[in-house]
A and B are shown apart, each in its own frame.
Chain A
Amino acid sequence: MHGRVKVKTSAEQAETKRKEREKKLKLYQVASAAAASKRANGEFDKEALEITQNILEQNPDIASLWNFRREILLFWEKDRQEEVQEVLSLELPFLESCLRVNPKSYGAWHHRAWVLVHAKHTDWAKELRLCGAFLQKDERNFHCWDHRRFVVQHAGIPDTDELEYTSQLISTNFSNYSAWHYRSCLLPRIYPDPEQKGRVAEDQLLKEYELAQNAFFTDPSDQSAWFYHRWLLGRAEIEDAITCVYVSKPLQTVLVSFSKPVNLRNEEDEAVLFVDSRPFPSKWQVPDKRSTFSHVWVCKLPPGLLEGETLQHCLHVSWKDGRLKKECLLYPGSKESWCQDSATDQKLFSLELSIEKSSVLRAEMDSCRQLLDLEPENKWCLLTCILLSRVLDPLGHASKTLTWFKKLLAVDPLRTGYYKDLRSKYQVEDGLLCMEYAETRVLHLARKELTSLFHLDLMVLVTHLDVSGNCLHVLPLAMSCLQCLQVLHADDNEIEDIEGVRNLPVLQDVCLKNNRLAHLSQLQPLTSCCRLVSVELGGNLVENLPDFYTHLHELLTHTRPV
């Protein structure tokens, strides 16, 4: 019971209470039976309204009784219009008293909306005042907030008035999360960003930064303003795009990756592959052979299609009726080729934060660091500093970011799992950036305290991956994106699931020393890697099984595990 005060009562009091309840129950049962019999006999009269009112005053969530009342009113509508309007007008104070006793009754709020729509002369302004009164009593009552939005819509109240209302509420109490939420809905409607759908135009955005800052400088531990601030920094929606086309001659395969998961089997999302300008009837498959939606799709080409050592081939993928396309040229004599969008900082971080003017973000960073000087243990401020540093200059702030993470983990241990995963995500991003600057296909992620792998869809061209010395438990299914992976180093983790190596067509060397592989069945995914040359499993419990190497050879007949 919410906030129930515990009181011990004597046996005597208990007995009185029991009797009271018995009496109440009797009354309730008699009334319910009467209402049911009236409904069954089609007695849609005033008495029926009275009976149901008596019960609903006690318990406003017996949905069938509200339904009965509506049936009566609809029945009268045919020839007793005036009476209906009169009852409808009386229904409002009755509902108000129900809601005063229980302001969170779904049934009562719904019935109120129904009445307001059915009444001929609804006073919407009055109804809006009622919402205001209820919200004054409980500023977080989401039923009433929803009712208010319904009233606003019917009364044609402009969004700007409602924005002003949220400003008032926030100025009296910064921690009114409901009001911040409402602002996030109103602002993109009132001040839409001309370029990014769902975002707020820059002038207004700057004012909102100021509002949020005022709030968290006043009370740095109040989460509402921080959640709102993260949204302001927020992400623009990722646009549809083909990010990479890759072709391999020995594998007779074309791979395409997209900016977000797509389902190429869906007719509307069909992608057409042209080989040397001729459409090729392609059968697209997902690398993990399971998912319906995927960033990455592959297509087998028939043998002979890319033949001829002296010929150049053009692979062209057209998507969304030709609006989006990408092509890659396979030069004479080459075994593979690709065309990939560069993973510049901005593109990577657009997943997390949109690109506002950097001066604004720098000013934000300055004020957050100022606040952090005053409140060195404030987790919200620490996290915001990290988010800002990621947008401004991820590699430049790398070591500072790690210090902040360390502090975060110390001050907010309940969210250890979240912070470690977030840190892993940023480490992977930095690793991808370094790989791109170095113009290689070798990704170094060893000893970075990784707890999870992120951005696997951006690793489609990686040939060598080193994730040794981390805290990984799983090589996840999504690793099947790494279709070019030849060498995988994953020693010294806590891996007990290697599902991710399944279906990696060119994987040759796998190092999994010192992990938590204890059963042969856990190694089963390796059987699908048909080019496997060596597997290292030293330091896993599985090694101690009797006749382990014999069993392993049986399992991997085509490999030579070391």
Chain B
Amino acid sequence: MGAPLNDVHIKTDAPSTLFLDKHADYIASYSAKKDDYEYCMTEYLRMSGVYWGITAMDLTGSLTRMDRESILEFMRHCQHDCGGIGASQGHDPHLLYTLSAVQILTLFDNLNTIDLEKVVEYIRSLQQKDGSFAGDKWGEVDTRFSFCAVATLALLGRLDAIRMEEAVTFVLSCMNFDGGFGCRPGSESHAGQVYCCVGFLTIVGRLHLVNADLLGWWLCERQLPSGGLNGRPEKLPDVCYSWWVLASLRMLGRLCWIDSKRLRTFILACQDEETGGFADRPGDVVGAVDCIRSKTTIQYKNCFPYLYIYSYLSKPCLQVDLFHTLFGLAGLSLLGETQLKPVNPVLCLPEETIQRLGLHLQLLN
């Protein structure tokens, strides 16, 4: 009767302690293998990759292991005349990578590496009549980009640069029957978009416009018996939702609505004991599976807000990546893991960095 429960089974021998040093090793080695197939094939999102890597590294307390100078040098080549920043040299500017770049430079305390006035101008130029933001000049509108715009401006202290009331009105027009948010007006709620919209409203000081009890209920219902969180009803759990869901609940002052102990168990089980790093979920999938494509030689992985491409694996272990490594670690940090630096739930940077900037983000309590 009904749909089978989509969840995973955590084996008794799954990792249950945090391999702190291993994760730092994994991140350090990732950026060293520049000829690697996966490294090359993900060039189109490099800027975000660098942000995931250095933020994860900083949370583990090992930022000095990253080659700061070469990263800054790389970044000098990614800003375009319009002010926007591309994922890598030769890639077009986009709000996604503009935010990643500003996050990186904030973390390195080196914002002047790029022309900030032009960044502000770029963001301003992408605001549409209805208050929404296009991701780039080609006009794709999404609440993800509303978040990118205000998060970047908040880090630059320039929230005054856009038409705020219209921006708020647009985000609110994406609120749904379940209290959640989607990409555009009428789009279904999705935990990643919820994070973006709740984050947006936090940054602009309008969190009271969310129905926190209703949305909080929908968010805590994302937790499955394995302890992991999914992004929408009936979907499989994924480590990155430990971030999107948990950070949203934290902003809404309702972190205690999920079972922290069980979630922690799930996140830790996603670690690769051998290589370090986190995968999207622990090995064994039970119930229905959303996309088995084991015969193709290339596999796609959809993780909000990006799509990845991976080669088919030959290694019989978890497939770890930087994205899940950051959000696994950040989730653990929100759950109070003392071996990690506290993370800011709105901007996903170390709390100490946000304090250094003197940014005050009012969460619900």
Spell out A's residues near B (CB within 8 Å). Answer: 1-9, 13-14, 17, 20-22, 24-25, 28-29, 36, 58-64, 66-67, 70, 101-102, 104-107, 110, 114, 138, 140, 142, 145-146, 149, 173-175, 177-178, 181-182, 184-185, 218-219, 221-224, 227-228, 230-231, 234-235, 260-261, 290-293, 352, 413-418, 421-422, 425, 474, 476-478
Contact = CB atoms under 8 A, between A and B. Distances in A.
What secondary structure prevails in chain A residues at the interface with B?
helix
A4 B313 contact: yes
A13 B44 contact: no
Interface string B1-25: 1110000000000000000000000
B184 A114 contact: no
Interface of B: 1-3, 37, 40-41, 44, 86, 90-92, 94, 136, 138-140, 176-178, 182-184, 186-190, 205-206, 208, 211, 213-214, 216-218, 220-221, 223, 225, 232-236, 254, 256-259, 262, 279-280, 283, 285, 289-292, 294, 296-302, 305-307, 309-314, 316, 319, 362, 365
B236 A64 contact: no
A178 B184 CA distance: 14
Contacts of A66: 138
Contacts of B37: 21-22, 24-25
Contacts, number: 206
Contact of B299 (A4, A142, A218): A4
Contact of A4 (B217, B223, B232, B294): B294
A64 B259 CA distance: 42
Given A146-B187, A181-B176, A414-B225, 16 more contacts: A1-B310, A1-B313, A2-B301, A2-B302, A4-B299, A21-B311, A28-B41, A58-B309, A61-B306, A63-B92, A114-B138, A173-B3, A175-B3, A185-B177, A417-B220, A418-B217
B314 A9 contact: yes
B177 A231 contact: yes
A260 B206 CA distance: 12
A62 B46 CA distance: 11
B362 A414 contact: no
A227 B294 CA distance: 35
29 contacts: A1-B299, A7-B316, A58-B298, A61-B307, A63-B91, A63-B92, A102-B302, A110-B140, A114-B138, A138-B290, A142-B187, A142-B188, A142-B190, A173-B3, A174-B2, A177-B188, A181-B177, A181-B189, A184-B176, A185-B176, A219-B1, A221-B2, A222-B3, A231-B178, A352-B213, A413-B259, A414-B262, A415-B259, A418-B217
Given A4-B319, A146-B183, A64 B91 contact: yes
A145 B188 contact: yes
Contacts of A142: 182-183, 187-188, 190, 232
A227 B176 CA distance: 12
B148 to A, nearest CB: 14
A9 B12 CA distance: 25
B256 A417 contact: yes
B188 A415 contact: no
Nearest to A262: B208
B314 A17 contact: yes
A359 B236 CA distance: 40
A110 B285 CA distance: 31
Contact of A474 (B254, B309, B311, B365): B365
B211 to A, nearest CB: 8
Given A3-B289, A21-B311, A415-B220, A292 B205 contact: yes
A293 B208 contact: yes
A421 B300 contact: no
A149 B299 CA distance: 28
B307 A105 contact: yes
A478 B91 contact: no
A222 B2 contact: yes
Contacts of B138: 66-67, 70, 110, 114
B313 A61 contact: no
Counting chain A CB atoms within 10 Å of each CB, the highest count among B184, B220, B300, B313 belongs to B300
Contacts of B217: 418
Contact of B307 (A24, A102, A182): A102
Nearest to B5: A221
Nearest to B44: A62
What secondary structure prevails in chain B residues at the interface with A?
loop
Contact of A477 (B2, B206, B365): B365
A3 B262 contact: no
Nearest to B180: A181
B269 to A, nearest CB: 15
Contacts of B312: 17
A138 B290 CA distance: 9
B111 to A, nearest CB: 25
A421 B183 contact: no
Contacts of A36: 90
Q: Which 3 A-B pairs have the closest CB atoms?
A: A219-B2, A3-B289, A184-B177
A218 B3 CA distance: 12
Contacts of B225: 414
Contacts of B44: 59, 61-64
A59 B177 contact: no
A182 B178 CA distance: 12
A493 to B, nearest CB: 15
Given A110-B140, A415-B221, A418-B257, A63 B213 contact: no
A221 B221 CA distance: 13
A178 B86 contact: no
Contact of B186 (A2, A107, A174, A185): A185
Given A21-B311, A175-B234, A181-B177, A145 B187 contact: yes
Counting chain B CB atoms within 10 Å of each CB, the highest count among A29, A414, A422 belongs to A414
Contacts of A3: 285, 289-292
B300 A104 contact: yes
A102 B300 contact: yes
Contacts of B94: 63
Counting chain A CB atoms within 10 Å of each CB, the highest count among B91, B92, B232 belongs to B92
Nearest to B137: A67
B233 A224 contact: yes
B292 A5 contact: yes
B262 to A, nearest CB: 7
A227 to B, nearest CB: 5
Contacts of B205: 292-293
A5 B220 contact: no
Contacts of A227: 177-178, 218, 233
B205 to A, nearest CB: 5
A14 B188 CA distance: 42
Contacts of B232: 140, 142, 177
B305 to A, nearest CB: 8
Contact of A2 (B190, B206, B214, B289): B289
A173 B223 CA distance: 23
Contact of B184 (A5, A63, A146, A293): A146
B302 A104 contact: yes
Contacts of B92: 63-64, 67
Contacts of B178: 181, 227, 231
B187 A1 contact: no
